[in-house]
Structure 1
Amino acid sequence: MAETVKKATRESFGEALCELAEQNKDIVVFDADLAAATKTSIFQKANPDRFFDCGIAEGNMMGVAAGMAAAGKIPVAASFAMFATGRAFEQIRNSIAYPKLNVKIAGSHAGISTGEDGATHQCIEDIAIMRAIPNMVVLNPADHWEMKAATKAAIEYNGPVYIRLGRLAIDSFNDPETYSFELGKGITLHEGNDVTVIASGLVVNEALKAVKVLEAEGISARLINIHTIKPIDRDIVIKAAQETGRIITVEEHNVVGGLADAVCEVVTAECPVKVTRIGVQDEFGYSGPAWELLDAFKLTQPHIAQVIRDVVNEK
């Protein structure tokens, strides 16, 4: 296993863009006066002639990115998730997704772990918003290595992609020597037959810790990492439902419209089983240290482990 890397996925994203730009001269990057926070500043420093600060005007930025895509470039447009998906929704829908233009949208500082920025900046709706748009691919990578691989896949994919970036530095758990990323394909991180846990993004590592603790208690929990929310890996979800009969979803997002609903849409149509949803329970966040907030919203290992116990012990 490779040495653990502790890094925010926004930084991993910035590094990946910079590396990819060395081979692909069509990559151009736009930011909305937040380059230092979204880490597109890494790209800016190396490629100042291919970086454009559009100011605090996300709607305009998306329109400019659409124009660059129509001209044959591969534009990446970055801002905080709240502003990228909220303020610029109309331009993303009509100018990017409708004509299926090759624009990559990066939403940084997503979820409760934005911390002290508070409810106005803790975007818990971005996945729901983006996956409701036709033609849009939605990615939520879980650690440093997955973000780098996902960014490469997004650049290589011809069409609109939304990538969710985190503010909080987290430990990596994937091994770059063996890790393989494929758009639309989930990854089984831990085998089990009593219940299936399906997680996405930052909380995948917390879920992994939980299932390992429970293994010592004799609870066999399968863990699936869904890095691509749309298109979701229907096969891996159906197989899990058939083989374990119970599913728990874990996400740093509103349980309405995100991973939980994506999973429920699959199982209700193909293999109806009970789905227990761990996530933000349709409420706004509040200001506080990131890990304290994650714990308060029951998105850390001890809380996840207890929900798994409760589900397995239900008769």
Structure 2
Amino acid sequence: MTIELSEKEAYGIELRNVVADRLEKLMEQDDRIIALDADLSAASNWNKLQETHPNQFINVGVSEANMVGMASGLSIAGFIPFIHSFGPFVTRRVFDQLYLSGGYAKTTINIYGSDPGFAVGPNGGTHTTLEDVALMRSIPHAIVCDACCAVQMDWIINEFSKHEGIHYVRGNRKSVHEIYQPGTTFELGRGNVLRTGTDGLLVVSGQLVYEALKVAEHLARKGVSLTVIDMFTIKPLDKELLLKESQDKKFIVTLENHSIIGGLGSAVSEACAESALAIPLKRVGIEERFGEVGTPDYLQETFGLTTEKIEERIQDFLNEINH
């Protein structure tokens, strides 16, 4: 698969609407599908589910831990629960409930954590999640995804409904650049090569896939050829693809809208170390900081995750390994 950036300038529909629309379709097909929200149904647009399927929607109020407990109970009773809240409230705040009532109890809970990293915008530091992937990766057998666009988010939500266990997907509530054509299908645990190159490997997930493609295009003009992998499933990681595409490469860069500790960069580093892959690696992400108040554009700039900042950080890395 080769993605031409010029074809991907347009924004898709808001991801919150993608999730709500997919859940509505699932509810029409299966009355076991139950959606639970923690007093954020207006923000998630899940209030439409309350209108169209009132018997399959529960607003639990500002009570996220209780929401996880209810989802676990619904799973035991044979239902298929989907839960939503802002990323930190549906992972960090309720981690003990997810770990015990979810993972340990072997129940099924499908989780949409919205507005990760710089996507949080002016909601501020308390609402910022830079550690959700790290937390969710630590739950045994959990599946952890980072959706890059509306097409991929729609597929992920639909796919989650088919499997038992703890499933987490993070993604913006608002519109993001489209990457994939409508109807594209994926496979959990399998990454996608979006651009082929000869010098280095750029492994990315989520909203930053668009920036990764732009960076690869810019660096190509400077004589640096990058292979770009959309590693949308961070757990389980596609180690086979990672090792295959690392062959004959001079370096690896990981890119994520998350702390460089415990996220995609850590997962790739662990896989490389365990495979005795001797190759320079740079993790580009959010380093040793908490969130703050600001627009998404301001935060993306502050966190060093704009196209220009990413390119600069990669160029600095290349200068280091070449001297």
Among candidates 200, 207, 211, match of residue 195 of structure 1: 200
Measure, in 2, the Cα distance between the counterparts of 1:3 and 1:259.
25
Unaligned runs of 5+ in 2: 1-6
Give the 5 Å matches for 1:265-280.
265-270=270-275, 271-280=277-286
Letter of the 1:281 counterpart? E
Q: Tell me, what secondary structure is at the counterpart of 1:244? A: coil
Contact 2:251 2:279 in 1 (8 A): yes
Per the TM alignment, residue 121 of structure 1 is displaced from its structure 2 partner at its CA by 0.5
Please list the CA deviations of residues 8-29 of structure 1 after superposition, one character each: whole Å capped at 9, or x if unmatched. 4233222221222222221101
Decide whether the 8 Å contact of 2:27 with 2:56 is kept in 1. Answer: no
Q: Match of 1:60?
A: 66
Deviations 1:114-160 (A, max 9, x none): 11111110111111111111121111111110000111111112211
Q: Provide the identity percentage.
A: 34
Tell me the distance in 2 between the aligned counterparts of 1:20 and 1:4.
Answer: 27
Cα distance in 2 for partners of 1:26, 1:95 equals: 19
Moved more, 188-197 or 302-311: 302-311
C-alpha distance 152-311 of structure 1, shift in aligned 2 (>3 A): same
Normalised to the residue count of structure 1, the TM-score between the two structures is 0.94
Counterparts in 2 of 1:305 and 1:48: CA distance versus 1, 3 Å: same
Q: Letter of the 1:196 partner, please give it.
A: L
Q: 1:227 aligns with which of 220, 227, 232?
A: 232
> 1:273 and 1:152, CA in 2 relative to 1: closer, same or farther beyond 3 A?
same
**Aligned match for 1:250, one of 241, 249, 255:** 255
Q: Tell me how far 1:97 sits from its aligned partner.
A: 0.7
Unaligned runs of 5+ in 1: none
* Offset at residue 2 of structure 1 (A): 8.7
- Give 2:146's aligned amino acid: N
Backbone CA RMSD of aligned residues: 1.7
Q: Give the secondary structure class of the aligned counterpart of 2:254.
A: strand
Question: How far apart, CA to CA, are the structure 2 residues paired with 1:3 and 1:13?
Answer: 22
Matched, 1:290 2:286: no
Q: Relative to structure 2, which stretch is displaced further, 107-116 or 52-61?
A: 107-116
2-side partners of 1:5 and 1:287: how far apart? 24
Matches of 1:282 and 1:147, distance apart in 2: 29
Cα distance in structure 2, aligned partners of 1:13 and 1:4: 19
Alignment counterpart, residue 155 of structure 2, candidates 129, 149, 155? 149
Kept in 2: contact 1:107–1:162 (CA 8 A): yes
Which stretches of structure 1, 4 residues or longer, exceed 4 Å deviation after superposition?
none
AA aligned opposite 1:252: N
**1:282-309 deviation per Cα after TM superposition (whole angstroms, max 9, x unaligned):** 2112111101210221111112223333
Aligned pair partner of 1:207 in 208, 212, 218: 212
Q: Report deviation, 1:3.
A: 9.1
Cα distance in 2 for residues equivalent to 1:188 and 1:137: 20
AA partner of residue 133 (structure 1): I
Please say which of residues 161-170 and 132-141 is displaced more in the overlay: 161-170
